[in-house]
Amino acid sequence: MASGKIVKTFITPLGKENPVFVQILGICSTLAVTNKLENTIVMTLGVIFTTTLSSFTFSILRKVIPARIRMMVETLIIATFVIIVDIVLKAYMPDIWQQLGPYVGLIITNCIVMGRMEAFAASNPPGLSLIDGLSSGIGYAYVLIIIAFFRELLGSGTIWGFSVFGDWWSNWAIMIMPPGAFFMLAIFIWIVKGRMAE
């Protein structure tokens, strides 16, 4: 395996084919979990774990699985990894698990995970699929973290729960609410795509 191919597989989902701002996938969770930095980071770690291992596992099985049950198997694999994330959070990080509520389980329906399995892992060897899954997860994660940073800062005046603005700051309630995520995401896509077009 040429190292150039590995690097290319890793880099592409971070920028040129970013799952969030280019493919516009995984928007549901981008809007739902980005109002607090801490929750966002735990959530994105869950997605990175799931998308990496799902792509890897499916790639190993890709020649054994009959085409007609391909999507059932994909869903089964994703669900297994997501439930593992859910159980581990519940046991070791109960406070965060409680705050994330249903969103961990909803990683199952995140289009990025299944999208990478269909588009990449189904036709590439396990090693490359693992890298593709990992970098797709990272590509998703850093966009969410940037959005969450600004939403928490403007909406609560805090970063990671620590107050940064002090008492004079009046919280922008809209940033905490779902519409705030639409604005932040749109502004983010506008800036990034504007730069990409140049």
Query: What is the contact surface with another protein in residues (CB under 8 A)?
Result: 35-36, 39, 61, 64-66, 68-69, 72-73, 76-77, 79-80, 83-84, 87-88, 90-92, 94, 99, 101-102, 155-156, 173, 176-177
Helix (H, G, I), strand (E, B) or coil at 62: coil
One DSSP character per residue, 101-124 reads GGGTGGGGG-HHHHHHHHHTGGGS
- When the beta carbons of 61 and 189 are compared against another protein, the nearer one is 61
CB of 116 to another protein, least distance (A): 19
Tokens of 85: 């994330």
- Cα dihedral 130, 132, 137, 138 in deg (nearest 10): 110
Q: Which amino acid is at 120?
A: F
- When the beta carbons of 100 and 131 are compared against another protein, the nearer one is 100
- When the beta carbons of 24 and 69 are compared against another protein, the nearer one is 69
CB of 66 to another protein, least distance (A): 4
Q: Which residues pair with 163 in a beta bridge?
A: 158
CA 34 to chain centre: 11
- When the beta carbons of 119 and 154 are compared against another protein, the nearer one is 154
DSSP 8-state class, residue 198:
-
CB of 76 to another protein, least distance (A): 6
Element (H, E) at 158: strand 158-159
CB of 92 to another protein, least distance (A): 7
CB of 12 to another protein, least distance (A): 30
- When the beta carbons of 18 and 35 are compared against another protein, the nearer one is 35
